[in-house]
Structure 1
């Protein structure tokens, strides 16, 4: 029962988090954006005390439920290992107890802490499991999802509005290569030996692992009824059960409940207190009907701020009516960061390069950086306007960012945010160059920053 409950919750979280990256309608973020903010490292970088406290309490009560249910990279590993155990031979698909790689875990955690404190964004970007999964979905799954969406849109025709065509494009070659390597490396480790990545290279797994040593509810072995058959150890994807010595390494246990289901003697229990040597505590055994204390709640939904209406303008212009003209990519000496990022330092310190903003930008103007911010902040979002422009009524990137690297903006505030200043090159203007009348820039400017001038005759305007 416990395992089935865990699997159901894990699948639900995994699907919703994946759709947050894939959704092209923007509807899901209004109701499920909290799942992105509920990820450990984004909450840590955003100093989201509420989420950090909730995750700590969950771990101290239930163990590493976060790693089994909430973390999408953890669920991805479970999916890979599920198929691996059904494809591999009976002998090779068995797990076995292995000693903890404590030194390596501490070294990786120390590198992560130093990287965060020193503001080296690439460290948190590579080691954050949520960011790693986000890049995999954005770079590898999103194009396939978009192609299927476009196929349905084409088959159903223009009279059907369920599927709207979307543009498929490569965000960054570097990010694509890194996402592919991440998929293969984590997938290989999961195929080979289950949760090796979680219990070796993941800083979140290390932090929550040592915290879970003090959890109230733990998986325990009843020595009096255990027959030492080894089934629990063979099914433990964390390789943390030493059935010969009746011990469990709680720093590596991800509370998946595989061992409870595999134990035919009822010797594995998920209990508050240690099982007595002569008298097992039946009320906390696997057969208990009361599951209420094993369920955990998720924080209340964060509702998006209500949209503020824009005043009618004399010019009757609309941003949507002016399609963007495709241009060659311009190499800037100073990169343009998304509106709401406050500064390059704030963006570089807090961003985990999950690419959620890149994938959700409706105008496709946000792309992963390569060296724009320097090597310490690769794959962090930067604006590139060859595909379109940043609409003053759009706050998608600030709405979806889970780390506050891009702070929340209302639509009213967005109109006042200046990401840079346009440069007018007079000799290139067709009014001067070709002696024609034109007021295109005046019409499209949404903030009235451009004034219209008239010719000396006053007959027509420039």
Structure 2
């Protein structure tokens, strides 16, 4: 019964978190965005004291429930392990903990968090690793499926679906996600929760607390015949059946051992009952019922259906092949409105790619820079940051992008536009343009005569740096190729205009 409840809640959490990364409309975040904010590391970086204390209390009461129910990477490994052990009568075996490796990685991870080395933190953070796998490997397949439905629906004169662009946002991040996926599948297929109990710093930290948890699996020595079934089915490899001991720092409370024991020698009960077992093999029914009631008191999550919002399909009516734009060489990288500064963003971002998944204008993409590797950055080749859109600030679970309103976003200056005379089609091709001025939502660009003494001379743009908010509309809509004649230079610290 307990295992069934645990598996059911885990599947619901896993499915909803996965859909958060797959849903490119951002609709699901309104209802289930909080699932991303209760992940341990994002909550820690966001200084969400309530969530952190709740997770610590949950671990202190019931053990590593977070790892077996809430963490999507943990549940993902369980799914792979389930397929891997099919056909194997006794799939696992007990192994000693590699404490030097576990605690060594944890210490280095803590130092990286304090030092603000975001790329290393993002590489090991379990929630972020899963987010990258879904965003880079599975989201494109999901989008291709959506486009197929959109194609069929259009033929049936229905617009319930709309096509989206499918593209590799960052080759380096894609490769890292692919390698992470391969390592996880290999380890989980062969040895179950090896990654959780050897590499994952969050699992190691929670394991320290789980040693003192109130409820835990207990072996009844009087009933145990040392058959070893529990150890051979323990995906955490933490049950030493010969010595009748369980390493609670590695136990993820999957409760598989309870179902596999044919003699009822393993029970999930209070820690005080463990001491009683030493002197007395008798377990009262009240203790069992109490353990069951406390375990079932953990709130269950319920899935809900959502409707994908239809948007107008963007169609370029031109017949000529348009050369793709190239990314300008920015001195300072652009970070989203609400991130406060480049430093604050790099310090708090876990590179989970959730904001990249929901960005409707394809402005956000993972960085390829070594110091900010896999963390999102802004670029305007495919779209610009619309002043009315605040989706990235709504979904960020780590506090790297603070929640902002539409009115606040319109006054946040993340950078300023810079005009490049040599690229402007007004001067290179001798044509009238003014695209940048017409589409500037802040009214920060005006067209003036290129020759002050001749009013009829070609009009060129002049940027009012004090009014420009750095949205990138001018850069994106500039017809110059391959480099725009006007681009946005980022600001180290965001300003209010």
Q: Same fold (TM over 0.5)?
A: yes
Which position in structure 2 is the counterpart of 1:129?
126
1:359 equivalenced with 2:364 (yes/no): no
Classify 1:430/1:102 alpha carbon distance in 2 versus 1 (closer, same or farther; 3 Å): closer
Classify 1:407/1:325 alpha carbon distance in 2 versus 1 (closer, same or farther; 3 Å): farther
Which position in structure 1 is the counterpart of 2:381?
386
Match of 1:147 among 115, 120, 144: 144
Residue correspondences, number: 437
Partners of 1:224 and 1:278 within 8 A in 2: yes
Q: Summarize deviations over 1:143-172 as a string: whole Å, max 9, x none.
A: 111111100110111632332211100011
Partners of 1:34 and 1:299 within 8 A in 2: no
TM superposition shift of 1:208: 0.5
- Paired residue secondary structure (2:165): coil
In 2, Cα distance between equivalents of 1:389 and 1:43: 29
TM superposition shift of 1:328: 2.0
Partners of 1:326 and 1:387 within 8 A in 2: no
Q: TM-score, normalised by structure 2?
A: 0.82
Partners of 2:109 and 2:201 within 8 A in 1: yes
Classify 1:427/1:293 alpha carbon distance in 2 versus 1 (closer, same or farther; 3 Å): closer
Classify 1:131/1:457 alpha carbon distance in 2 versus 1 (closer, same or farther; 3 Å): closer
1:339 equivalenced with 2:337 (yes/no): yes
Partners of 2:335 and 2:377 within 8 A in 1: yes
Classify 1:108/1:289 alpha carbon distance in 2 versus 1 (closer, same or farther; 3 Å): closer
Which position in structure 1 is the counterpart of 2:64?
64
TM superposition shift of 1:321: 11
Match of 2:372 among 365, 373, 377: 377
- Paired residue secondary structure (1:197): helix
Which position in structure 2 is the counterpart of 1:295?
297
In 1, Cα distance between equivalents of 2:45 and 2:21: 20
Partners of 1:341 and 1:405 within 8 A in 2: yes
Classify 1:40/1:409 alpha carbon distance in 2 versus 1 (closer, same or farther; 3 Å): same
Structure 2 matches for 1:209-228, cutoff 5 A? 209-228=207-226
TM superposition shift of 1:370: 1.1
TM superposition shift of 1:437: 5.0
Gaps of 5+ in 1: 301-319
Partners of 1:326 and 1:388 within 8 A in 2: no
- Paired residue secondary structure (1:423): strand
In 2, Cα distance between equivalents of 1:428 and 1:210: 60
1:415 equivalenced with 2:414 (yes/no): no
In 2, Cα distance between equivalents of 1:174 and 1:56: 35
Match of 2:259 among 250, 254, 261: 261
In 2, Cα distance between equivalents of 1:389 and 1:402: 23
Partners of 2:269 and 2:291 within 8 A in 1: no
In 2, Cα distance between equivalents of 1:74 and 1:23: 21
Which position in structure 1 is the counterpart of 2:86?
86
| Two-structure CA RMSD over aligned residues (Å) | 2.8
1:405 equivalenced with 2:400 (yes/no): yes
Classify 1:449/1:278 alpha carbon distance in 2 versus 1 (closer, same or farther; 3 Å): same
Deviates more, 1:227-236 or 1:427-436: 427-436
Gaps of 5+ in 2: 303-313, 461-497
| Bigger share in strand | 2
TM superposition shift of 1:278: 3.3
Partners of 1:81 and 1:191 within 8 A in 2: yes
Classify 1:65/1:435 alpha carbon distance in 2 versus 1 (closer, same or farther; 3 Å): same
Partners of 1:270 and 1:284 within 8 A in 2: no
In 1, Cα distance between equivalents of 2:392 and 2:239: 44
Which position in structure 2 is the counterpart of 1:37?
37
Match of 1:186 among 184, 187, 198: 184
Which position in structure 2 is the counterpart of 1:235?
233
Q: Summarize deviations over 1:381-437 as a string: whole Å, max 9, x none.
A: 111111111111111111111111111111111111112111234565455666655
- Paired residue secondary structure (1:218): strand
In 2, Cα distance between equivalents of 1:436 and 1:389: 24
Which position in structure 1 is the counterpart of 2:464?
none
Which position in structure 1 is the counterpart of 2:475?
none
- Paired residue secondary structure (2:268): strand
Partners of 1:36 and 1:402 within 8 A in 2: yes
Which position in structure 2 is the counterpart of 1:73?
73
Q: Summarize deviations over 1:109-162 as a string: whole Å, max 9, x none.
A: 011011111111112111100111011111100111111110011011163233
Q: TM-score, normalised by structure 1?
A: 0.88
